[in-house]
Structure 1
Amino acid sequence: MLPNVDQDTVQQTAATAMEIPEFVIGRYYSRKKEITGRFGGSGRNGIAPSRRSPAIFLFTGTGEQHGYKDRLGFDYLDYVGEGQIDNMQMIKGNLAIASHADNGRALHVFQMTGKGKPCMYLGEFACHSHFSDQGVDRNGKMRSVIVFRLIPVSQTLRCELEDHDSLDGDDSTAQGKPEDLAALREAAVAACRPGGPNSDPKEGVRLAYVRSLRIKRYVRARAHGHCELCDAPAPFNRKSDGTPYLEPHHINRLSDGGLDHPKYVGAICPTCHRLIHFGENGQHRNDELRARIAAKEAPFAGGNGE
């Protein structure tokens, strides 16, 4: 059983919450003034984890002379990791991408248009797999490169909105019963951890849906039928299975869809969900939800990197 939420902790955490970046797809932004200059992060590297927000900024479109040849498809982006000489290693920026869901950090991707020129925002992506490829380093030597298969977060929005608890291809052996909160959390956290190399795009999408489903199952069970923001009972029960109707909300995103760790997803009523997105004090209520979820998840802190 999770502990009651301490209101003093909620208020203190909400007051110190980090700013969440918000960009518009297709719009151009100055890296120096509006991206890393505003939220922190390297002003030159292609992978720039923010120092002041739960985000990692990725820049694509340059650096082919160093072996960085990204491939943008219809519904995915194969993004080459960092490291200009010798084989790439799963460290620093590369590890930050692979672990972004586990750490609750959004991946914001920008298309470079030239040195010092504005960058076009391509959208928020999630890393679902990675694999090794061959390429040349800065000195023209063949080496092993890490390629991350990134998928737009909108790809998993369907699973977020679907009002059922089954998904083709979910072969988990630890689904847990609705009341088995520990098993549900274990399955959700395991789905967020970086997986092994996998170059199959279809498998990446399948794993994305599975991860999203497991998180949704857990946060609904954690809520015990009450909105995790306003504490009111769910407005109605689902006709499909009679369970309380609550909607998943990603605290570290201002848009819905995509993946996150259970520590950064709340189960809230439709009214609070729309208040966060469209209300004049939506950011404040989102920060309050962050604090409430942090208090609920605090007992699990420190165990296996969770």
Structure 2
Amino acid sequence: MSTFVVGQEYERSRLLEFIGSRQAQSGVLWGANEPGCLICTSGGRGGKKAGYSDERLSDGTWWYFGQGRTGDQILSNAANAKLSSGKYSVLLFTTREPTAREVVDRGSYGKLFSYCGQFNVSGCEQFVPNDGGRQGDKLWRFRLLPIGDEGYNYYSEESDLDLDLSGGLREMQYRLTSLGSRKAEIRASVAEYRFRSAAVHLYASLRSNGICEACGLVAPFARPDGRAFLEVHHLTRLADEGPDLPSNVAALCPNCHRRAHYSVDKQEFGKKLKDAIVLKENIVLGVEG
């Protein structure tokens, strides 16, 4: 969750201020203010003339091309290495040139950046353009999956995930932790990524038993399927070798979820929440089953 509003345009200085960076020119920004986050900008004048361009797909995911303006792109490039690691959330912006009127009003020729939302990197693959200035070059493109304030909600009922819940939380914890602790696969399918993420979110929902895991209050209302409505919060934006882990998520009421992101005491609040989840996970490990 960020302070940016989807569809609203910002100047580059605002992006640099948020991330804590002084990078002069780059499509991928990172900085000390948000160490688990990357800002990726898409579009501009280069684009299709080079024989490729970033692309939003019909399912809401994106193909986002890596960095490296000449020759073959390499994953050891600083920006590409961060994208391929799976350890960063991505704030994605599209780029456009200002109109003549905007240049006069703003007194600047600087580009404008429209916020598209927050994404995770699910994988990447090589792409070779057939024409344009980069024809024949081996490029890397990254698959970006959108996430929202409530995380992944790809299920409406528990049965949608086709999970065997008979073993209780302890068995579910073990299976999901085993999946998440594998080394990140840069070619993981979108379907697998979404399934694993949705499964961990369901686990957090069941672990909470309808009680906010921060303030201890009952969920404000029930979902259509009868489960309590709580929003799933990531304790850290680092993907930890996979999209989600049981130990890295908490089921929160809407008030606590926003406190975790926006409050003046969010760091202290986040530390207490992490400690609480560690305790709950140890209880699940030692008691359930």
TM-score (norm 1): 0.65
- CA deviations on 1:29-50 (whole Å, 9 max, x unpaired) are 1112x11133223341111123
* Matched residue, 1:195: 185
Aligned sequence identity (%): 21
Residue 75 of structure 2, aligned match among 90, 96, 102: 90
Partners of 1:131 and 1:288 in 2: how far apart?
39
1:57 aligns with 2:21: no
1:111 aligns with 2:94: yes
How far the C-alpha of 1:282 sits from its partner, in A, is 5.6
Residue 171 of structure 2 aligns to which amino acid in structure 1? Answer: D
Residues 43 and 95 of structure 2 are in contact (CA less than 8 Å); yes or no, is this contact kept in structure 1? Answer: yes
Partners of 1:179 and 1:292 in 2: how far apart?
23
Residues 72 and 137 of structure 2 are in contact (CA less than 8 Å); yes or no, is this contact kept in structure 1? Answer: yes
* Matched residue, 2:170: 179
Secondary structure in 2 matching 1:180: helix
Number of residue-to-residue matches in the alignment: 258
- CA deviations on 1:29-76 (whole Å, 9 max, x unpaired) are 1112x1113322334111112321132100110333666621233422
Residues 188 and 215 of structure 1 are in contact (CA less than 8 Å); yes or no, is this contact kept in structure 2? Answer: no
* Matched residue, 2:240: none
Spell out the pairing of 1:1-306 with structure 2 (5 A cutoff): 21-32=2-13, 34-41=14-21, 42-53=23-34, 54-62=36-44, 63-64=46-47, 69-74=53-58, 75-91=60-76, 92-100=78-86, 103=87, 105-114=88-97, 116-135=110-129, 142-154=136-148, 159=153, 162=156, 164-168=157-161, 177-180=168-171, 182-187=173-178, 189-190=180-181, 194-197=184-187, 203-204=189-190, 206-220=191-205, 223=208, 226-232=211-217, 246-250=230-234, 260=244, 262=246, 264-268=248-252, 272-277=253-258, 283-284=263-264, 286-295=266-275
- CA deviations on 1:240-272 (whole Å, 9 max, x unpaired) are 79x88754234568xxxxx6554542123xxx3
Partners of 1:225 and 1:184 in 2: how far apart?
22
Residues 184 and 217 of structure 1 are in contact (CA less than 8 Å); yes or no, is this contact kept in structure 2? Answer: no
Partners of 1:55 and 1:37 in 2: how far apart?
13
* Matched residue, 1:303: none
Relative to 1, partners in 2 of residues 1:137 and 1:146: Cα closer, same or farther, differing over 3 Å?
farther
Relative to 1, partners in 2 of residues 1:99 and 1:249: Cα closer, same or farther, differing over 3 Å?
same
Partners of 1:212 and 1:194 in 2: how far apart?
14
Residues 117 and 146 of structure 2 are in contact (CA less than 8 Å); yes or no, is this contact kept in structure 1? Answer: yes
Partners of 1:264 and 1:188 in 2: how far apart?
14
Residues 167 and 210 of structure 1 are in contact (CA less than 8 Å); yes or no, is this contact kept in structure 2? Answer: no
Secondary structure in 1 matching 2:214: coil
TM-score (norm 2): 0.68
- CA deviations on 1:126-175 (whole Å, 9 max, x unpaired) are 2223221103899856221111122322599672673x33335x6x8999
Secondary structure in 1 matching 2:3: coil
* Structure 1 unpaired stretches of 5+: 1-19, 254-258, 301-306
Secondary structure in 2 matching 1:50: coil
What is the RMSD computed on CA atoms of the aligned residues?
A: 4.3
Partners of 1:221 and 1:184 in 2: how far apart?
15
* Structure 2 unpaired stretches of 5+: 98-108, 238-242, 282-289
Residue 183 of structure 1 aligns to which amino acid in structure 2? Answer: Y
Residues 4 and 115 of structure 2 are in contact (CA less than 8 Å); yes or no, is this contact kept in structure 1? Answer: yes
